[in-house]
Amino acid sequence: MQFIDLKAQYAALKDEIDANMQEVLNDAAFIGGKYVRELETQLAAFTGRRHCITCANGTDALQLAFMALGVGEGDAVFAPDMTFISSTEPAAMFGAVSVFCDITPDTYNLDPASLERQIKAVLAEGKYTPKAVVAVDILGNPCDYDAVSAVCERYGLALIEDAAQSFGAEYHGKKACSFGRIATTSFFPAKPLGCYGDGGAVFTDDDALNDLIRSLCVHGKGPGGKYDNIRVGMNSRLDNLQAAVLLPKLKALADYETVARQTVAGRYNAAFAGKFTTPFVAEGCLSVWAQYALLAEDTKQRDRVIARLTEKGIPNMVYYPTPQHALPVFRDEPTYGETFRNANDYCARTFSLPMHPYLTEAEQETVIAAVLEAL
């Protein structure tokens, strides 16, 4: 059994993926090329965004967003305490501080009340300039965009949606990647829409930001092309080969994978209700279940369950064992007295089970029986 079964997905999509990859080899068009252009068009249409700019990975996508928004020395970037380091790591490289906020106890996403408290604390201190908010759709479950956008508007901060885990998710009829001035995603193989290596994308509705980000992706190219460098940029592009792999996968995600993920999550929810804290998806939201995470009673019970699963050869993971504020790299970031009660509690109790659209009912029954037995 696989935690995320990429072999089963390849078996289902082999003919299309093989044919596309062969075409790239025949054309010998590796950088840029027709699949990259087609993918950007389809991703923009799928998410309802005016522009999609593909790039080398999800961390670069966030770095491009920070560069495009002018995040720099002395700026403060706000993000949930429970996320992957990429959410604010690139901002730190430009001299910005990461100000972490607590998460809500139900969705585990950015808590708008904690966000507002942290913004006020930064303003009151007067040392840093509040600049941007990174909202993360953690585990594939969309953040509360109505509440978070309202806070961003009140303080004039740019909102970035980190949709690395949530491609295909929905919030009140709008797709993930459609929120904020800029949204970013990752095509790391294990993400809901993954390629066969590294890849990422940036989304925006703003024509000027689109032009700027396209320039930043190619060494700050100017109107005269790639040898007319007008600013310092990056070398961050998606390979044509990866785009060729992603096109059939995008179709599968839209046609049946997202639905299949709901079925798998539904079976887990039914089996574990009342025994663990099961995931909560807010009214009007659709999660893509990048991970299926349960909360045990406490760390001791969690560790006992995962030790038993590992013993029985059942894959399991902890996303994430450490909240951002407690990572050695972020030890010196200002916390403004925030206790991160919910993030600490979540990290102490969480564990994740095999979750992917090709998980069979029989495999799932094995997992469920093992979890319940360990309990």
Ligand X SMILES: *Cc1c(COP(=O)(O)O)cnc(C)c1O
Candidate residues 35, 145, 188, 272; the one interacting with ligand X per rule CB under 6 A: 188
Listing from the earlier edge strand, what are the strands of the sheet with 174-175? 174-175, 170-171, 285-286
Whether the CB-CB separation of 175 and 169 falls below 8 Å is answered with yes
Binding part of the chain for ligand X, among 26-34, 57-65, 229-237, 266-274 by CB under 6 A, reads: 57-65
Q: State the nearest-atom distance from the C-beta of 339 to ligand X, in Å.
A: 23
By beta-carbon proximity to ligand X, the closer residue of 87 and 107 is 87
Q: State the nearest-atom distance from the C-beta of 373 to ligand X, in Å.
A: 31
Candidate residues 10, 84, 128, 336; the one interacting with ligand X per rule CB under 6 A: 84
Tell whether residue 98 is a contact of ligand X (CB under 6 A).
Answer: no
Structure tokens at 155: 């303080």
Binding part of the chain for ligand X, among 80-88, 94-102, 255-263, 308-316 by CB under 6 A, reads: 80-88
Structure tokens at 14: 């082999």
Binding part of the chain for ligand X, among 2-10, 36-44, 84-92, 143-151 by CB under 6 A, reads: 84-92
CA dist., res. 1 & res. 94, Å (int)? 42
Candidate residues 20, 47, 59, 324; the one interacting with ligand X per rule CB under 6 A: 59
Structure tokens at 172: 């009140």
Tell whether residue 141 is a contact of ligand X (CB under 6 A).
Answer: no
Give buried/exposed letters for 136-172 (b at 16+ CB in 10 A, else e).
bbbbbbbbbbebbbebbeeeebbbbbbbbbbbbbbbe
Whether the CB-CB separation of 57 and 200 falls below 8 Å is answered with yes
In what helix (H) or strand (E) does residue 228 lie, and over which residues does it extend? strand 225-229
Binding part of the chain for ligand X, among 52-60, 171-179, 215-223, 261-269 by CB under 6 A, reads: 52-60
By beta-carbon proximity to ligand X, the closer residue of 77 and 305 is 77
Tell whether residue 180 is a contact of ligand X (CB under 6 A).
Answer: no
Q: State the nearest-atom distance from the C-beta of 110 to ligand X, in Å.
A: 12
The angle, 0 to 180 degrees and rounded to 10, between the axes of the packed helices 240-252 and 34-47 is: 40
Tell whether residue 280 is a contact of ligand X (CB under 6 A).
Answer: no
Tell whether residue 371 is a contact of ligand X (CB under 6 A).
Answer: no
